[in-house]
Structure 1
Amino acid sequence: MATNISNGFAPVDETRLGKTATRLSWGAVFAGVVIAVAVQLVLGILGAGIGLSMVDPVEGTTPGAAGFGIGAGIYWLITTVVALGAGGYAAARVAGVHERFDALVHGLVVWGVTLILTLYLLTSAVGGIIGGAFRTVGAVAGTAGNAVGAVASAAPVAASAAGVDGQDVQEAARDVRSEAAAYLSDAPNDPAQMTQEQAQAEIARQLPALARGGAEGQQAESRIVDVVAAQRKISREEAQAQVTRAKQQFVQTKNEAVATAKSATDKAAGAAAGTSFVLVLALLIGAAAAGFGATAATRRRLH
């Protein structure tokens, strides 16, 4: 009877070489993230030093803002690719994976964790983020404010038709209720009996209704015409013609201001959309770099 002698080792064909215990090693991923962040910081500091060395206000050779911004964006993209590629390679190498898919997963996880960590660090700087947001909103609000200012500046045009000082009308329009109460508490209803100050307050009081239009606007326009005719001592037809011209100028100025504000808003929205698309493309390139670096570190199986 034959006996099998064993030296205590399993046959070679029964061993399972090259297979890790788990498909994903979080320790390796953490190592890859640390390396990616460290490389990104080092290259970022190096880029800042290079950029500052190009600033020479004495000689006047400082690059323009547009060219400087494009160069900084390209450099940031290159450093991101290098950092994530190194992080993905390190994670897959430390994990000792033998499957390209496992290596790719390690690289993508390194990319995702690095992205989340970066977003967390950015959002934790609450002051800087809020300051940047308010500066952006302030720029849009400034454009709208300019439009409102242009519309308000058209108000003296209507007042000039009555032969009154436009500056006085602007001052009266700032607080139309209190001014109207002060001037019109005992003011006569007949425009011919009004003083110049009372006429100014009456025109200022009617301007908001005139701007709104409709039946209320028509009544306000008729009242302004009566005041103009009485103050200038001209016929009502002549006063109507002057007020109509002033109203047309007012509407034209308002429309131009609104169109300018809309154009500025459209440009800002377009720029924001373009920036978003570029950022998404950069993130995808970073993911590809991390995946490529990880798959390049795939170990071959031992046979």
Structure 2
Amino acid sequence: MSTHTQRNVVLSSHTDWWTINWGAVFASLVFIYALSWLIFTLSAAIGFSIVEVPEIKHIDTKSETLTVSIALYGWYILTAWVVYLLGGILAGKLSGNIDQRAATLHGVVVWSITIVIAVVLASMGVNSLLSSAAGAIKTTATAGTNITKAVSSGKEGAISQLPSSLQPLIASIKQGIKKGASQDEKKLEKAAEQIDPQALGLIATALIRGDEQEAKEIMASNTDLDEKEIDELVGSVKTKAEKIGKDIQRKADEARGYAAGILWLMFLSYIVALIAIIFGARYGAKKLASSVQQA
């Protein structure tokens, strides 16, 4: 009797291939996330077990990073294939429909819901991969705006809000004002005390951008230094400003490359997951049809 009932259910659902069995979808989702977590813990355990920490002097940063990146990308994509393939098989077998179109629909629905859940988790800071991508993108996008915000925030505490990489340059500017070329020590001390943190930040920012004229104008309007003293001060800190500017640009490029790598990894893994879950769901429906025919 039970076999006859099962056969009737399958045949009746064959014509309505667009009907979704939400129980099958939910079961597949639970399985996919449970298996993903299991593989994650396994990967972490293996990683901590086999990774050796070399001596600092023997570390080749570029080659180590490249090797880790290739291994990480390959493992992540392989994991996506296996997890979604098995999840698709489960969804296809539990769908109660032997139609291949119905199996494909169930696979696509499960795949879509996993993406929605991942986005929601990332917005709450739970999904590490999406959160890392978002953080890297944010770092790249705000690399130049943080300085502007800091120097426009007012006099009190403005220097402390500036990036730490700017502090040596600001200290050199202030020290240069104190030393100066003038013999009037009181004048130099007054100039060093007179210039406020906001102006120092603007001077440092202008020098990093390579705009010496703007830096000189800010110095002239905020201190009692003459043109010769300002020229000598700008010349003394120019090299340091260029070095800091290149360092900031390098870090921004690294953040942009890191963000691009993560986003490409996510895109490829989701495409692989879509193919895997469709293939798995269709295979699951095929196995369901075989079991019904044998019954």
TM range, normalised to the smaller chain? 0.5 to 0.7
Q: What is the CA distance between 1:112 and its match in structure 2? A: 2.0
1:81 aligns with 2:103: no
The alignment's TM-score, normalised by the length of structure 2, stands at: 0.63
Give the structure 2 partner of residue 154 of structure 1.
173
Which amino acid is the alignment partner of residue 79 of structure 1? T
Q: How many Å apart are 1:81 and its aligned residue?
A: 1.1
- Greater shift, 30-39 or 119-128, is seen at 119-128
- 1:101-155 superposed Cα distances (whole Å, 9 cap, x missing partner): 21111111122223333444555556989x9788985996799430353244233
Q: Report whether the alignment pairs 1:286 with 2:235.
A: no
Unaligned runs of 5+ in 2: 1-7, 147-160, 204-213
Moved more, 51-60 or 286-295: 51-60
Counterpart CA distance in 2 for 1:255 and 1:108 is 52
Kept in 1, the 8 Å contact 2:85–2:277? The answer is yes
Aligned match of 1:273: 260
Q: 1:260 is matched with which residue? A: 247
Q: 1:202 aligns with which of 191, 194, 198?
A: 191
CA RMSD in angstroms, aligned pairs only: 4.4
Match of 2:13 in 1: 20
| Alpha-carbon distance in 1 for matches of 2:76, 2:109 | 21
Cα gap change, 1:116 to 1:213, in 2 (>3 Å): closer
Note the C-alpha offset of 1:72: 3.5
Instruction: Please state how far the C-alpha of 1:215 moved relative to its aligned partner.
Output: 6.3
Match of 1:102 in 2: 102
Compared CA separation, residues 268 and 28, structure 1 to 2 (3 A): same
The C-alpha deviation readout for 1:64-88, integer Å capped at 9, x for no partner, is 5653454244223212211111111
Aligned length: 242
Pair 1:128–1:52, CA change in 2 (3 A):
closer
Show the 5 A alignment for 1:124-143.
Answer: 124=124
CA displacement at 1:54 relative to structure 2? 0.3
Q: Is the 8 A contact 2:77 2:268 kept in 1?
A: no
Q: 1:34 aligns with which of 25, 30, 33?
A: 30
Normalised to the residue count of structure 1, the TM-score between the two structures is: 0.61
1:145 to 120, 142, 164: 164
Distance 2:237 2:24 in 1: 69
| Contiguous gaps of at least 5 residues in structure 1 | 1-14, 165-190, 226-239
In the alignment, residue 35 of structure 1 is paired with which amino acid? F
Provide closer, same or farther for how the CA distance between residues 112 and 206 of structure 1 changes in structure 2, counting only shifts above 3 A.
closer
Q: What corresponds to 2:152 in structure 1?
A: none
Moved more, 245-254 or 131-140: 131-140
> Do the aligned residues in 2 keep the contact of 1:154 with 1:253 (CA within 8 Å)?
no
Write the letter of the residue equivalent to 1:28. Answer: A
Q: Bigger shift: 279-288 or 259-268?
A: 259-268
Superposition pairs for residues 52-71 of structure 1, below 5 Å?
52-56=48-52, 64=64, 67-71=67-71
What is the one-letter code of the residue matched to 2:234? Answer: K
Which residue is 1:111 aligned to?
111
Shift of residue 30 of structure 1? 1.5
8 A contact 2:77–2:269 mirrored in 1: yes
Give me the whole-angstrom Cα distance separating, in 2, the residues matched to 1:213 and 1:47: 53
Q: C-alpha separation between the residues in 2 aligned to 1:127 and 1:293?
A: 25
Tell me which amino acid in the other structure corresponds to 2:20: L
Decide which structure has the larger Cα Rg and report it. 1
Check whether the contact 2:180–2:188 (CA below 8 A) recurs between aligned residues: no
TM superposition shift of 1:198: 5.2
